[in-house]
Chain A
């Protein structure tokens, strides 16, 4: 368990909040009246059984889904819905449940793609590899190399990502998100399908990102041990409804949560 968090975070400033968000597809209610907030520099977990609406929640936050009701406040600005470009520009980066990399490109190019918004020079200059544009490319390339070092993937930087094993693909995807230097990092099941060793590596990277860069992290995860170890606060969804919200310890003891996970005798 991460010791310092609870008290500090409790007083922390709110980075993002969703209020009364409802989202449905036709007759299916993916989210019903969900409200919670994410505070600066915390690790916030979103958990729940399959189909609870966790990924839908991330998609709402980063603008892939537009909720029918509710408000999203990010960095003090309130909107009915985000747009993906707004979210990215505002500093929200994410990874995907089923790794979504640019499969035809190298690990390096994938992470460079994360720098898209940091590079401002017109493409004519880039075409000529001249002056300020060249400078900019080198600068961004340096940042990317730092990320590559940090994630310990030097050996595979030139490898086309489609050839990489799953665990490394996940790591490259994290690298691409980090390359955006996000204020809020959304991780959709960063450890799904990994073995114990890979999970430990990934946990270490997540903790390091949070500690060293102060990046706020919201993550979805099924492995309860991981969630309890990593997160400062947990929000629990079930069938699109929020059923609990609190520190890992509080949530663990919550009867509604136990029922949702284990089922109740009727």
Chain B
């Protein structure tokens, strides 16, 4: 029974931490679905959102604002920053590149990454800023069944809930609305989209805005976990295997990919780690991704790749 309790603890902990990767992966999926562009800057957007949030919270707290008011104002400020950056990116980077090849757009997002990283640290500072938005203490479940119970981190539970709500909302948005249809249309063919009157610049602004807000949500969770700091941008790398497994074009896939990676790497660490010298969780996700690439290159949930010859 002890072993099973441990297994459950590792599994659930892994699933929940995987969902946190999904939060970052979602931002990628959004932009990929709507413009066919792999947005290299997603990690930098998480950093920007986190810094804007944590610095404005510090500022407001120092001015004696009560906790809840500071949080509301801080979130609003960070959302405003993300709105402005979405506008600027559309206006000065993507807008002039309409009808260009996907690779060119991808390169431009690498440029955006460096600009966002530089500017956000220039304005908001480059230290490690602690963020406390969610409870981070432990939670013990089913203490009657297993000795010691199953330990869960409350932060991970919160992250899981938030990701669930986000995914449900975004899936509805893409499948049910005219705007969602327009987004998919733009991703497939810029000119054809323009010819039926879909305003590309508006669509791109909307999608970068939504991706920015998703980055903000990811920043609240990850900032609480790690503190807001430059290394948060590397989360983007952690999201890569999630995307490959789930498929770049699938919102639910981002979640499933996160769950698979999270559970897989934690279980591997717990059961294979001791015999292999540990550190498995740093590379396990990438190996999983490699296997998926060989078997199903579009990812488990991605759109079928159809090529007529």
Contact = CB atoms under 8 A, between A and B. Distances in A.
A109 interface: yes
A127 B177 CA distance: 6
Interface stretch (A2-10, A100-108, A230-238): A100-108
15 contacts: A62-B195, A84-B197, A100-B192, A102-B189, A102-B193, A113-B196, A116-B178, A117-B197, A119-B178, A123-B180, A127-B173, A160-B306, A162-B307, A163-B308, A177-B195
A18 interface: no
B303 interface: yes
Given A85-B199, A88-B196, A103 B177 contact: no
Interface of A: 62-64, 84-85, 88-89, 93-94, 96, 100-105, 109, 112-114, 116-117, 119, 121, 123, 126-127, 129, 160, 162-163, 176-177, 179-180
A138 to B, nearest CB: 13
B184 A102 contact: yes
Given A127-B173, A127-B176, A160-B306, A94 B185 contact: no
Contact of A85 (B179, B182, B197): B197
A97 to B, nearest CB: 11
B181 A109 contact: yes
A62 B195 CA distance: 8
A62 B191 CA distance: 11
Q: A-B pairs with the 8 shortest C-beta distances?
A: A88-B197, A100-B192, A102-B188, A84-B194, A126-B177, A162-B306, A117-B197, A123-B177
Interface of B is mostly: helix
Contact of A116 (B176, B187, B196, B249): B196
Given A126-B178, A163-B308, A113 B185 contact: yes
B287 interface: no
Contact of A100 (B191, B303, B306): B191
B172 A116 contact: no
Contacts of A176: 192, 196
B95 to A, nearest CB: 13
B80 interface: no
B178 A103 contact: no
Given A89-B197, A116-B198, A105 B178 contact: no
A160 B187 CA distance: 15
A180 B197 CA distance: 9
Nearest to B179: A123
Interface in B265-309: 303-304, 306-308
Given A123-B177, A162-B306, A163-B308, A101 B188 contact: yes
B275 to A, nearest CB: 44
A59 to B, nearest CB: 9
A20 B173 CA distance: 46
A117 B184 contact: no
Contacts of B249: 104
Interface in B160-206: 169, 172-173, 176-182, 184-185, 187-189, 191-199
A119 B198 CA distance: 12
Contacts of B199: 85
A127 B196 contact: no
A83 to B, nearest CB: 9
A221 B17 CA distance: 59
B196 A129 contact: no
